Amino acid sequence: MGSFNVAGSVSDLSLGAGTKCVFIPLLPHKFSEDSRNVTVGGNTGIVSNEGPESLFSPFALPIIGTYDDYGSLEDIQVDDNTACIERFFGCSIDDFMNRSAGSAMCEEKKNILESLSGMFEHYDVYQTLIEFDLSRDSILRGADLNDRNLKLFGFVLDRVDDSLKRYNRVYRFPGVTNYIIHSDGTWSHVVEVSIKQKQHHVYSLADLAKIWEELTGININVSQYAHISKFDQMYDQLREAINKFNEDLVSQDEHVREMASTFGNPFGRFFHSDIRFSTYFMGWRYFEELYKNSIIEGKLKKEIADMLHLRSAMFSCNRFFFPAMNGEQFGNPKASKVLLEKSLEIVNEEIKEMEENE
C-alpha cells in the first residue's frame, strides 16, 4: 500500500509525512445509546442541538504525534491521556493507533476499537483554535449564573419561589432592598421589587456586574475572574463532586447511600447540581471509564479544558467532529491557497461590515 496524505478536519489542509498533528479518535454518534436523530433541515443543513458532535463524538482526548504517511501517527507524545487509553484497551498506544487488538482484549473492547474512526488536524491549527477568544469561555463571560457563581459575587439565596415556573431561585445582595435576582441556574433576571414587571435579562456574570452597578451604584470587583476559565472551575467542581459521591456510597447513613447510588453519580444523567461539566461529555460514552480516575488525581485538567475550547471554536467555525476527506494523494497546496485567499477576502469584507455597523 502506497503512502498518502490526510486532511485536517477543521482546516482542510493536507498533512504529509512528518507533519506534527493531533489525532482525535471518533465514534459515530449513533454508536451511543443516548444518541438523538439528526435531521437535514430543508436539505440545506444539519439541524441538531449536538453542535459539532451531531454526526461523530470524540472517543478520547487528542493524541499528539507526527503523521506517518500511512494514515496513522508515529513519535507519539506519551502523556496522561495516552496512559488512560492504554489502560482502557490493555494495549500500547501504538497498537491502539494501528488497531492491533491483542488476544487478551475482550470482545467489547475489540468492538469499540473496530468501530473507531478519527480526525487529524495540524498541530499549529489545533493550538490556534484552543487559544481563540479564551475570554468568552472565562467565568465572567461563559459561566452559568448558578448558585455557586452568584455567591462568588456576594449574592445570597433568599428563597425558592415554587409559584414561578422557571426563574424561581430568588437572590438578594446585602444592603440592597429595591432589586433582587431571579435565576434558573443558567441565566438570570434582575427584578425591580416595586415594579415586578421591570426585568433586566442577564446572560453572564459580566452582564450582571455591569447592570448591577448601573442600577444600584455598587461596583462588584470581577477583574479576578476575567482570566479564569469556566472549564477549569467546572473541572474542580466535578472532582469535588466525585470525591463526595465516593464518600456517600460508603456512608453509615442508608438514605445517603441510596441517594448516592440513584442520583449522586456526577457523570450520571440524573445528577442534580450546579455542575454542567459532565454534560459536555454526554456523547462521549466512555468518558467516565477513561478519565474518572485521572480526574480524581487532578490530572488532565488542561487537556480537558483545551478540548472544550476546541469544541467551542469548531462551533464558531461551523465544523463537525468528522473524518476529513482525502483528496489528491499528496494534497494540492496551490488549490488550498486559492481557496484560503478567497475565503480570507470574503471574511475581511464581513468583518469590515460588522465593524461599520457597531
**Average pLDDT of the residues in 138-154:** 88
Could you give the residue ranges of the DSSP H alpha helices within the chain?
80-89, 93-97, 107-115, 123-130, 139-142, 147-152, 205-216, 230-249, 254-259, 287-296, 301-316, 333-357
Do the domain assignments include residue 236? Answer: no
Q: Are residues 118 and 213 in the same domain?
A: no
pLDDT digits (tens, 9 = 90+) for 168-199: 999 999 999 999 999 988 888 899 888 766 67
Residue in this structure with the C-alpha cell 483528496, named with its chain if needed: 327
- Residue 97 and residue 149 in one domain: no
> Which residue segment(s) compose the domain that 156 sits in?
144-225
Q: Is residue 280 part of a domain?
A: no
Residue 254 belongs to some domain of the structure: no
* 301-316 vs 230-249: helix crossing angle, rounded to 10: 130
Tell whether the model's pLDDT for residue 80 goes beyond 90: yes
Q: Tens digit of pLDDT for each residue in 86-119?
A: 999 999 999 999 887 666 788 888 889 988 999 9
Residue 34, pLDDT above cutoff 70 = no
Pick the more confident residue, 140 or 40: 140
Q: The pTM is what?
A: 0.85
Residue 148 in domain: yes
Q: What is the mean pLDDT of residues 259-276?
A: 68
pLDDT of residue 30: 61
Asked whether 249 and 261 are in contact (CB, 8 A), the reply is: yes
Same domain, 133 and 166: no
Q: Same domain, yes or no, for 29 and 162?
A: no
| CA 203 – CA 24 distance, rounded (Å) | 32
Residue 274 has pLDDT above 60, yes or no: no
Count of domains observed in the chain: 3
End of a domain among 225, 260, 275?
A: 225
Mean pLDDT of 336-354: 93
Looking at the fold, whether 55 and 124 belong to one and the same domain comes out as yes
